Amino acid sequence: MHSEQFKFCVDILPAVSRTFAINIRILKGDLHKSVLCAYLFCRIVDTAEDSEHLSYEQRAELLESYKEIFAKSTFDPGSIRDWLTNWGELDATVAEYRLIANLQTVVEVFTQLPAPVRLIVQACVVEMADGMSATVTRKHQLGEKLFTLANMADLENYCHYVAGTVGKMLTDLFVFYLPEFPANHAEKLRTLGPAFALGLQMTNIIKDCHSDYLRGWCYLPADLMLSHGVEPSDFFKPAFRRPAQSTLNDLIKKTAGCLDDAFEYTLTIPSSQPRLRLFNLLSLFFAIRTLRLAWDNPALLNGKVRVKISRFEVYSIMAQTSICVRSDTLLRKLYERTAKMIPR
């Protein structure tokens, strides 16, 4: 492993995501390197989708060409250079753009990993980039109109590309690196994995709904809003606070149900793998605590206060899950105590 290249990957991670840096550093060995590289590759997809200084057409083109880089069995440095050229001048003071400028560095670390691992990760990146390209193309066609999702199926489809692809990849990596994992347990992980990914992404959508709306994006299902008597275009207007809050509460309840499945997913991982359990537990407990804050909270709708768990709560979750990680009984009590404030 090239030490300088690997050091770049480790150092850039907390700059592009403090939360996932906490999770990923729990892992060790090749699983750590695999998840680290995979996250950085996926973060580049997110950045391409969110780069507002680029037109939606440019974003779609970047995502399509990025997908092509990962669709090949080997990485072509020339293709990577051409792709970087299409970004134009990248602001090195922005961590995400510094990551993009060093894509080749991450690739050099990634190519040292086992071939089956590379196939798992590349399939995830290709599918995610494809889905995000379709999303920004749809937004481009809408022009200045608000981007909306028609219904829950539409939302779940979007979440699949953003998070479900990652969830499937992680499950496949866990199974690959744990060859002693019973086949029926692996199947249970694959069954519950989509709900885990959906729960995490819907939590993000709920907490960021106001800021997304200001950018012209609304990921809340339109039919759910309409069932409460509010149009998507009116959702954040003061006159519609009550139906809007009811809409969000309904979505929070559904999301909490997905996180219940995520908890069962985590308990399926053997207690002899505490690091792997903790990797999942932290994301799960961060999400369920966020939903508790979001429940019936007007701050979600006025945008004045960001709904976010405190640093103290982060450390508290880390401490409590670490203590309970090997005991299914203690973990279940901890989860039930944390989640009980959200109606089902």
* Same domain, yes or no: 182 and 131: no
pLDDT by residue for the chain (344 residues), tens only, comes to 468 999 999 999 999 998 899 999 999 999 999 999 999 999 999 999 999 899 999 999 999 999 999 999 999 999 999 999 999 999 999 999 999 999 999 999 999 999 999 999 999 999 999 999 999 999 889 887 899 999 999 999 999 999 999 999 999 999 999 988 888 899 999 999 999 999 999 999 999 999 999 999 999 999 999 999 999 999 999 999 999 999 999 999 999 999 999 999 999 999 999 999 999 999 999 999 999 999 999 999 998 778 899 999 999 999 999 999 999 999 999 999 999 989 87
Q: Are 66 and 196 part of one and the same domain?
A: no
What pLDDT shows up at residue 2? 65
Residues 191 and 325 in one domain: yes
Residues 71 and 187 in one domain: no
Q: What is the pTM of this model?
A: 0.94
Do residues 322 and 177 both lie within one domain? Answer: yes
My answer on whether 339 and 206 are in the same domain is yes
Distance CA 66, CA 52 (A): 18
Contact status, residue 179 vs residue 116, Cβ threshold 8 Å:
no
CA distance linking residue 124 with residue 136, whole number of Å: 18
Assess whether 176 and 135 both reside in one domain. no
SS3 for 45? Answer: helix
Pairing of strands 217-221, 147-149: parallel
Q: Look up the domain containing 295 and give its range.
A: 149-344
Same domain, 7 and 88: yes
Q: Are residues 328 and 186 in the same domain?
A: yes
**Judgement on whether residues 139 and 256 belong to the same structural domain of the protein:** no
Question: Which amino acid, one-letter code, is at 302?
Answer: N
Question: b/e for 156-190, b at 16 or more Cβ within 10 A?
Answer: bebbbbbbbbbbbbbbbbbbbbbeebeeeebeebe
Total number of domains constituting the chain: 2
Same domain for 157 and 304: yes
Of all helices (H) and strands (E), which one includes residue 274? helix 274-294
